[in-house]
Amino acid sequence: MAVAAVALVSSMPASAQFFMKSKDLTGTVVRGDEPGIAMTLPGATDAELRAGLTWTLRAALNVAALQCQFEPTLLTVDNYNAILTDHRAELKDSYDTLTKYFLRTNKAPKAGQGALDQFGTKTYSSFNAVASQYNFCQSAGEIGRLALYAPRGSFGVIAQERMRQLRNSLTPWGEQQFPRSFHASARVPRLDKACWSGKGEWQVKKCGALDFPPPVASVTVAQR
């Protein structure tokens, strides 16, 4: 029996913190200028787009470090802090590139700094995961571990490969191994006086057969 149990576990998907089987949220590689992926950078070069995407991933993992501490096995805080150290040079280069972009595309240094600050604020707020915290935290935990063990200089590559997954995780999804949906119809019998006798008995001759109580709610497998 023990051997059978081990075989069953080994055949199941990778263990997840919240679901027996999680929704597959992976997506295609991005550049950074696709709709809904990162804040728009009009006129940005390829290097500037990559810098924006890299900084967006850093922001997302920062949000996860703050929001996902309710599940300590995700290690979102420890991994994020380690990433800041291990990928320090690449993150600094990305920030410097973004700073130069906003200075280049604004008329004055003060306006450029303001635009950079606004970019950061909007990026953080774009990872609002109130409705899908489990999905976001699980995805961010997975990507954080990947980034932690990635070679230095490849954080931007991970951002290109995994940003769509992070964005997909902001859409609520539940259990995929045993999904269920419950459909119940609520109704009451006719209450008008003509259908009831003075003793509270249903008048079949006047109002037909009493279709009450309603049948038990049906349960079907939810298809997603």
- Among 22-26, 70-74, 196-200, 209-213, which stretch is predicted with the lowest mean pLDDT? 209-213
Q: Which residue has the tokens 């130069």?
A: 100
User: H/E element holding 182?
Assistant: strand 181-183
Mean pLDDT to the nearest integer, 51-62: 96
From CA 84, how far away is CA 68, in angstroms rounded? 18
The number of angstroms, rounded, from the C-alpha of 217 to the middle of its chain's C-alpha atoms is: 31
Instruction: For helices 46-67 and 76-86, give the axis angle rounded to 10 degrees.
Output: 150
pLDDT at 175: 67
User: H/E element holding 7?
Assistant: helix 2-11
From CA 62, how far away is CA 44, in angstroms rounded? 24
Q: Where are the domains of the chain?
A: 14-168, 180-224
Mean pLDDT across the chain: 82
pLDDT at 181: 54
pLDDT at 172: 79
Question: Cβ distance 169 to 138 under 8 Å?
Answer: yes
In this prediction the pTM is 0.70
